[in-house]
Amino acid sequence: MIAFERQFWAANPGTRLAGIDEAGRGPLAGPVVAGAVAIPEELIEDLWRGELQDVADSKRMTHAERDRLYSLLTSLPGVDWAVGIADPAEIDAVNILRATHRAMARAAAALPGGSPAHALVDGLPVRGLPCPSAAIVKGDAKSFLIAAASIVAKVTRDRIMDELDRRHPGYGFARHKGYPTPEHLEALARLGPCPEHRRTFGPVSDTLQPKLI
């Protein structure tokens, strides 16, 4: 899980490196959230073998496991972290890919101490980051820093969706987190979209079309 980090630091010793990942590209509602995590070269081995040895792809973890690791990542000395958010209105205005890239750039820029010198990002190359980057397909399962960022992004977004469930009861956001489950689609058809729905996404835009008689 730290092979990519070791490879980078072998060529760039002491350089500040961050991992960046996102959560929430596919849902019909709520924001897309990016996480960024930076850990110094001299500290990462000890954390990887110690307190953070269970860090892995957030999608493969239980809710409780993610919450526990989120608490550690956001409290351990030497671990810098930040999030960047693009809300549904921005997603509708610029499309989900651009909004995701903006959220990732915001997360990198918001790290304590400023943007890293370099970033490892999950998936395909990202435009607009405030630093050079390397894209790693399925990086959340291959890179420790990207996996850590995936946990920060996922837990942050899940908690946002829990709050949106309280603000907009009836849709079930706390259960499905905005994804197009049968429960969500039924509620959307019955209640229509709320302000947190992405109006350019097919199942939502379909509810806004005039019905032919």
Determine phi and psi for 147, rounding to 5 degrees: -60, -40
Question: CA-to-CA distance for 134 and 145, rounded, in angstroms?
Answer: 12
- What kind and span of H or E run contains 80? strand 80-86
* pLDDT for residue 13: 95
Q: List per-block mean pLDDT (blocks of 10 residues) for the chain, which spans 213 residues.
A: 96 96 98 98 96 93 96 97 98 98 98 96 96 97 97 98 98 98 96 97 87 49
* pLDDT for residue 210: 61
Question: 73 is written with which tokens?
Answer: 């990542």
SS3 for 96-155, per residue? HHHHHHHHHHHHHHHCCCCCCCEEEEECCCCCCCCCCEEEECCHHHCCHHHHHHHHHHHH
Please tell me the pTM assigned to this model.
0.95
Q: Are 51 and 78 in contact (CB under 8 A)?
A: no
Residue 130 CB burial class (10 angstroms; 0-12, 13-18, ≥19) = middle
* pLDDT for residue 208: 85
Q: Are 105 and 97 in contact (CB under 8 A)?
A: no
* pLDDT for residue 212: 45
Question: CA-to-CA distance for 5 and 71, rounded, in angstroms?
Answer: 23
Q: Are 111 and 18 in contact (CB under 8 A)?
A: yes
- Partner residues linked to 81 by β-bridges: 37
Q: Are 149 and 123 in contact (CB under 8 A)?
A: no
